[in-house]
Amino acid sequence: MIAQYKNGQLNALKKDAKIHHKLWLTPILKEAILNWSDLTNEAKAVFKRFTTRPEISGTVKKTESGNFVFHYTTNSGFEDEDVDATDANSNNIPDYIDNLISKFTAINTKYHTNMGLTVPPTDGTTGGNAKYDVYISGYEAGDGIYGWVSPDRKVGDNSNSTTLTEADAYDSFMVLRNNYEGFGYQNIALSVTAAHEYMHAVQFGYSGSMDSWFMEVGATWSEEYVYSGYDDNFQYLSGIFDSPDVALNLQDGEAEVFDGHWYSAWIFAQYLTEKTNPSIMKKIYEQCIKYYAIDAIDLELQTNWQSSLKKVFTNFTIANLLMTSNSGANPYTYLRANDYKPLIKTAYFYENGTAPFNFTGTNINWNSKTNGNNRLMRYSADYFLLTATKDFTITFSPANTEVLYLLVKISATSFAIEQADANASITVNDQEAWTNFVPLVVRFDRDIATVAAFDYNFTIKNSITSQIDDVNEVDLISIYPNPAVNSITINSDKYESYTVEIIDLTGKSIQKQKLMQNKIDVSSIENGIYFLSISENNEIIKTQKIIIKH
């Protein structure tokens, strides 16, 4: 925890620091304060300053608005503490504070009026009155830190909720900077920080023990919910798009190279709310009073949306692949897909992005451990880019109820999704209809407590029907026309010894007959792609793909 804080602070202060190097301190403080008795003396010394309310230098002013009170100074003489005293409208309130008031007014409406989120617990008279306290000081915020919320005291049940009984709700206070120089566009940084940090205050009002990864998902998503178009949270999306095989619910410290991954996972909340509505976040927070976040999400989806986390997460992985806003592709869509798409880099998104597969008839074998990066964590996905010039069968192993094997077929105008059968195989007999294919391995395993990879294999080889065609390619039997309109001719001197069966792409027998003449009627069969199989003495001697088009 100390290393995470110090490393983050060090990175934030480097000359080449990017915006995403700036620190969100709240999740670190949450773990420190809620586990204070377990901290070492060294850790307590590092975090002690964050456990008490800030003491602002100079003359401290307070401005109240709605449910909030802002504490600040304009005359301490310290650059990192003084709020710019400019007061253009002469209302005796600095313009910076007026701007903050407008932000929190909008946020309050979005959260409590529109979404119906419970107001955070009151802190009695701590801070001067029962309103929510926001302290403005760059010094108190800390170098390289946007802002933070600290859980102040455990109140148990939040008296501001009328239908819930919280077990470990916390009141809290917030610290924001006196300016956001060095944080990109200052007004954007201020806006999204206010939305982000106040969402943490709301979350503490439901449960101080809410999973940290989901708290950050919800807080970072709230930036889009309140300030769509500011797009400050786009800076984190590489975490999902560059590493889709990292656990959606990764906690900091589990795989340190991916610390902060939870910020990128806000796009899952975005997908979830687009397919339901924003108020589902409130419902999930309520479930988090009793359940871990993964279980809370699943329970809410099953109870009120006739769905499940597995289904929604699978759809989410497909939506990230297709990245479209076309309503015809629903539910695999995003409203702002065109804005997200430029952030996806093929070389990182696909497991074989630098060397796409091209199936030409020669077997392709893949092992995730020896050929891949050996990183498919819980609630994550591996994507592969594949083109083909021949029909093929892809077979995965091992079978696992917590892993889903899919194949997405894509053309310029459409797509189709195939799921592996009981043998973990998918056969493509219409490769010419598609531009490319994406084998997709989706892992769930929500109960595991490690980031150990799931190891798997797959083989791509000629489809069974292709193999039959190759074996019989010198056979003198001809089948025409293809496409067929109302009838098909079987041209062979031996046709009277044949039995002909027409099979659809699922393997279902559509029509079967002993040939009495060298022509069969297909006028009653629906348009589509089928297989015509010719047998002699109960042995298949030829199979050919046919198209019926009336």
Domains in the chain, please, with CATH? 2-236+276-307 (no CATH), 343-468 (2.60.120), 472-548 (2.60.40.10)
Per-residue model confidence (pLDDT) at position 440: 98
Check: CB of residue 180 under 8 Å from CB of residue 138: no
Distance from C-alpha of 516 to C-alpha of 421, rounded to nearest angstrom: 36
> Residue 549 contacts by C-beta under 8 Å, 6 or more apart in sequence?
483, 484, 485, 527
Nearest-angstrom CA–CA distance, 132 and 474: 84
pLDDT at 51: 74
- Cα–Cα distances (Å) from 359 to 268, 411, 425, in that order, read 33, 17, 16
- Strands 403-410 and 436-443: what pairing? antiparallel
3-state secondary structure (DSSP) of residue 424:
coil
Please tell me whether residue 145 adopts helix, strand or coil conformation: strand
Per the confidence metrics, is the pTM higher than 0.85? no
* Residue pLDDT, tens place only, 244-289: 999 999 998 899 899 889 999 999 999 999 999 999 999 999 999 9
Q: CA–CA separation, 447 vs 415, rounded Å?
A: 33
User: Between the CA of residue 175 and those of 93, 190, 252, what are the distances in Å?
Assistant: 19, 12, 23
The answer to whether 421 and 397 are in contact (CB under 8 A) is no
Quote the pLDDT of residue 33: 67
CB 172 within 8 A of CB 210: no
State how far the Cα of 118 lies from the Cα of 116, in Å rounded to an integer. 6
Residues of the chain with pLDDT under 70: 1-25, 32-33, 35-39, 44-48, 464-475
Look at strands 61-65 and 68-72 and give their pairing: antiparallel
Q: What is the pLDDT of residues 375-413, one digit of tens each?
A: 999 999 999 999 999 999 999 999 899 999 999 999 999
